[in-house]
């Protein structure tokens, strides 16, 4: 793997102005690069122009005192110039053009929590390494054992799940570092780098055990984890077999059984095929057409397990049997004596075979052939290319407990809650709250009350359109679950107002339901991102009366300023189509929900809000939100994100 060189740059007490500038800058892809100059000694001699740098926000003191910023990787930049001192210990100056800023710094603990396997393969990287005590400001990122860039990029993207999408817009060549199946370190205890592993032979065996259960709280992304893993391995659809266990699942629905099937056959009159002697409208047949009867017969009908089993013996490729919600079914009843096959030897083959039932044997001998290893001597044996993955919600573990003998035959991997959807918002009557703030607070209360993580809210417990969790979705999906499954015995201290009064679930649907819901959010101390600014132009009752001008003209309230800015931009670019205008403004960030949309985007969402302004642009409509601009700093974020070359100068009046 070649083409790019990477360094780390640790900003410390000599770079406080740069750190503050980075922390106060717009996050994401910068429309205008941020230039910093780093002066330090003992720099490597093999980095230079256009190499990439990961910038780490370090400490502003030597005493281990906490800083006002989170320490960790916060930005990505390009090296534009290096003025080296004559000697290694002389001061050198490196000019870096910062092109990308993370929403939140990423440090070693974040990576260990979200991507432990990836961390293993990059655990000697500068700044995040297990035994890293070097104090040089600038260091090379690769070149030593356990410092694989693929693992590092995977780790960063696991913590900041938006990173891949963003960074590939800056440098598409970074694609080579993503979607790389990282092997289980336990399978390679003596290997110190991924380059020493023959992936062509081993990657498909190394990424996961032959039988593995992914478990965790509801919505943590267990099924998604399996899907992405198979996608990374480029597994074709014909090699993936899925089933979902439920209380009515049994051996016949998992393996197969004789069932009545419909068969067509000719009707005979003696040895001659019978024909219609006249038109038959009911049968849809004409005179002299041969009569075909539909008859019932009993055949062995294979189910998911046998289908996957047969496919594994028909191909040398890996085959995957996926069982969703494995603990919602009675595993002892469903697997039956197949349970014995789950013991695999060092080659991945069943250590103990079992005799097949007569109906299964007859079917497999017919499909695979009498001499196939899959039914040799009438016995079943799992091949080494058949993988069985399963998911399990820990909140459902009391439905059908899994006995220890069954558990022992599986490898288990916990899927943690990562609080990765930091850009999702909860919208209640024009007020926007942080989803991850709500998620963390509720989960903390659940744990304190139950001393268990089983019923916590996972990252994908809800899947909102465009990252907006509406009041209706919050009530009917999230709060209904909390009320019914978590708090029905008073646990959690969640359903209370800010003055500590109890709230019944039905109260939230009453006349004062919205007000009570807002009071609950205050009780939970959920971070308020922006307040409703309906009637912000009215200065009564302490409303925000701030006005703005654009290029020295006009007097606009917060709710209308964004609309006027877009209008001014269109007037400067009269030939630009509406779609391009919307994309230009979207590239600055999402400051409020549905900030700016095309006609198609507005039409496709189900929560169309009347609080928008409509602008005409070359015969097409553009919709600009007037809602949510009243929060502290929201409008300032938009103003600060506008590039200088757009010639839109905004000032407060």
Measured distance CA(441)–CA(458) in Å, rounded: 13
- pLDDT confidence of 568, banded at 50, 70, 90? very high
Q: Two tokens at 516?
A: 């009570």
Tens-digit pLDDT profile for residues 355-387: 999 999 999 999 999 889 999 999 999 999 999
pLDDT value of position 324 = 94
The b/e string for 141-176 (b: 16+ C-beta within 10 A; e otherwise) is: bbeeebbbbbbbbbbbbbbbbbbbebbeeeeeebee
pLDDT value of position 544 = 59
Tens-digit pLDDT profile for residues 419-450: 888 878 898 887 888 899 999 999 988 888 87
- pLDDT confidence of 202, banded at 50, 70, 90? very low
CA angle 224, 227, 232 (to 5 degrees): 125
Q: Two tokens at 28?
A: 């994401």
Measured distance CA(53)–CA(140) in Å, rounded: 9
* DSSP states of 246-300: -TT--HHHHTEEEEEEEEEEE-EETTEE-B-SS-BTTTTB-TTPBPEEEEEEEEE
Sign (positive or negative) of CA dihedral 407, 413, 414, 420: negative
Give the DSSP H/E element, type plus range, for residue 139.
strand 138-140
pLDDT value of position 47 = 93
The strand pair at 72-83 and 92-106 is best described as antiparallel
Cα separation values, 204 from 229, 249, 307, 557, Å: 10, 30, 21, 59
pLDDT value of position 117 = 86
Tens-digit pLDDT profile for residues 55-66: 999 998 876 688
The strand pair at 292-302 and 272-273 is best described as unpaired
* DSSP states of 410-471: SEEEE-------TT-EEEETTEEEEHHHHHHHHHHHHHHHHS-STTPPPTTSS--GGGEEEH
Whether residue 327 contacts residue 393, with contact meaning beta carbons closer than 8 Å, is answered with yes
Range of weakest confidence among 43-47, 165-169, 324-328, 397-401? 397-401
Task: With 0.95 as the threshold, say if the pTM is over it.
Answer: no
For range 629-645, the mean pLDDT: 81
DSSP-H helix ranges across 25-148? 108-114, 116-121
Tens-digit pLDDT profile for residues 383-400: 999 999 999 987 754 566
Range of weakest confidence among 3-7, 178-182, 542-546? 542-546
Q: Two tokens at 612?
A: 């928008």
pLDDT value of position 534 = 45
pLDDT value of position 6 = 96
Cβ atoms within 10 A of the Cβ of 380, count? 23
Tens-digit pLDDT profile for residues 120-158: 989 999 999 988 888 899 999 977 788 889 999 999 998
pLDDT value of position 281 = 82
For range 306-314, the mean pLDDT: 95
Range of weakest confidence among 378-392, 480-494, 556-570? 480-494
DSSP, collapsed to helix, strand or coil, labels residue 58 as: coil
Q: At what angle do helices 358-368 and 304-314 cross, to 10 degrees?
A: 30
Range of weakest confidence among 186-200, 283-297, 315-329, 599-613? 186-200
pLDDT value of position 314 = 93
pLDDT value of position 498 = 84
Measured distance CA(142)–CA(4) in Å, rounded: 11
**pLDDT above 50 (res 530):** yes
pLDDT value of position 136 = 93
Closest CA to 483 of 465, 463, 506: 506
Map tokens 């990173």 to a residue.
Answer: 163
pLDDT value of position 402 = 80
**pLDDT above 70 (res 1):** no
**pLDDT above 80 (res 630):** no
**pLDDT above 90 (res 487):** no
Let me know if domain 208-255+303-414 sits in CATH 3.40.50.300.
Answer: yes
Q: What is the mean pLDDT of the chain?
A: 86
Cα 598–chain centre separation: 26
Closest CA to 224 of 418, 354, 14: 418
pLDDT value of position 355 = 94
Dihedral in degrees, nearest 10, Cα atoms 514, 517, 519, 524? -160
For range 548-565, the mean pLDDT: 87
Residue % of the chain over a pLDDT of 90? 41
The residue extents of the domains of the chain are 6-197, 208-255+303-414, 256-302, 425-530, 544-652
- pLDDT confidence of 406, banded at 50, 70, 90? confident
Cα separation values, 35 from 55, 73, 350, Å: 12, 17, 61
- pLDDT confidence of 608, banded at 50, 70, 90? low
Measured distance CA(588)–CA(601) in Å, rounded: 18
pLDDT value of position 111 = 92
Closest CA to 94 of 59, 127, 45: 45
């Amino acid at each position: 793997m070649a083409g790019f060189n990477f360094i780390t740059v640790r900003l410390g007490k000599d770079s406080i102005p740069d750190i503050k500038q980075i922390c106060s800058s717009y996050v994401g892809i910068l429309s205008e690069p941020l230039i910093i100059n780093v002066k330090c000694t003992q720099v490597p001699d093999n980095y230079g122009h256009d190499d990439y740098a990961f910038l780490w926000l370090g400490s502003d003191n030597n005493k281990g005192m906490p800083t006002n910023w989170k320490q960790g990787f916060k930005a990505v930049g390009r090296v534009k110039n290096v003025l080296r001192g004559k000697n290694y210990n002389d001061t050198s100056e490196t000019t870096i053009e910062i092109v990308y800023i993370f929403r939140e710094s990423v440090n070693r603990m974040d990576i260990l929590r979200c991507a432990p396997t990836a961390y293993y393969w990059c655990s000697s990287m500068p700044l995040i390494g297990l035994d890293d005590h070097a104090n040089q400001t600038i260091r090379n990122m690769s070149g030593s054992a356990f410092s694989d860039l693929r693992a590092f990029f995977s780790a960063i993207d696991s913590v900041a799940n938006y990173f891949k999408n963003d960074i590939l817009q800056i440098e598409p060549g970074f694609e080579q570092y993503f979607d790389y199946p990282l092997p289980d370190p336990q399978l390679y205890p003596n290997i110190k780098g991924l380059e020493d592993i023959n992936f062509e032979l081993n990657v498909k065996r190394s990424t996961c055990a032959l039988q593995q259960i992914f478990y965790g709280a509801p919505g943590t992304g267990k099924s998604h984890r399996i899907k992405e893993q198979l996608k990374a391995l480029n597994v074709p659809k014909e090699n993936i077999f899925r089933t979902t266990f439920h209380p009515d699942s049994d051996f016949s629905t998992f393996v197969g059984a004789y069932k009545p099937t419909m068969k067509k056959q000719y009707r005979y009159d003696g040895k001659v095929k019978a024909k219609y002697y006249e038109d038959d409208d009911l049968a849809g047949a004409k005179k002299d057409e041969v009569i075909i009867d539909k008859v019932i017969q009993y055949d062995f009908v294979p189910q998911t397990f046998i289908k996957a089993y047969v496919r594994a013996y028909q191909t040398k490729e890996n085959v995957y049997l996926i069982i969703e919600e494995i603990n919602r079914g009675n595993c002892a009843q469903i697997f039956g004596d197949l349970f014995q096959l789950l013991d695999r030897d060092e080659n991945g083959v069943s250590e103990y075979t079992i005799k097949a039932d007569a109906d299964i044997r007859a079917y497999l001998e017919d499909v695979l052939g009498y001499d196939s290893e899959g039914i040799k001597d009438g016995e079943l044996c799992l091949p080494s290319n058949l993988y069985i993955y399963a998911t399990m919600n820990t909140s459902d573990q009391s439905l059908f407990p899994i006995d220890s003998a069954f558990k022992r035959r599986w490898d288990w991997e916990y899927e943690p809650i990562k609080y990765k959807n930091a850009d999702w918002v909860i919208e209640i009557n024009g007020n926007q709250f942080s989803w991850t703030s709500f998620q963390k607070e509720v989960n903390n209360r659940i744990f304190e009350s139950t001393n268990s993580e089983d019923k916590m809210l996972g990252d994908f417990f809800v899947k909102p359109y465009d990252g907006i969790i509406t009041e209706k979705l919050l009530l009917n999906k999230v709060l209904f679950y909390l009320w019914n499954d978590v708090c029905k015995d008073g646990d959690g201290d969640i359903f209370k107002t800010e003055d500590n009064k109890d709230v019944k679930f039905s109260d939230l649907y009453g006349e004062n339901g919205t007000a009570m819901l807002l009071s609950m959010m205050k009780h939970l101390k959920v971070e308020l991102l922006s307040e409703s600014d309906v009637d912000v132009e009215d200065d009564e009752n302490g409303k925000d009366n701030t006005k703005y001008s654009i290029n020295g003209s006009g007097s606009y309230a917060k709710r209308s300023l964004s609309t006027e800015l877009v209008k001014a931009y269109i007037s400067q670019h009269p030939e630009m189509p509406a779609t391009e205008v919307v994309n230009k403004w979207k590239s600055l960030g999402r400051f409020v929900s549905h900030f700016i949309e095309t006609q198609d985007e507005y039409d496709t969402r189900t929560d169309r809000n009347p609080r928008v302004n409509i602008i005409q642009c070359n015969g097409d409509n553009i919709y600009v939100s007037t809602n949510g601009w009243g929060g502290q700093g929201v409008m300032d974020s938009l103003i600060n994100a506008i590039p200088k070359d757009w010639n839109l100068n905004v000032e407060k009046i």
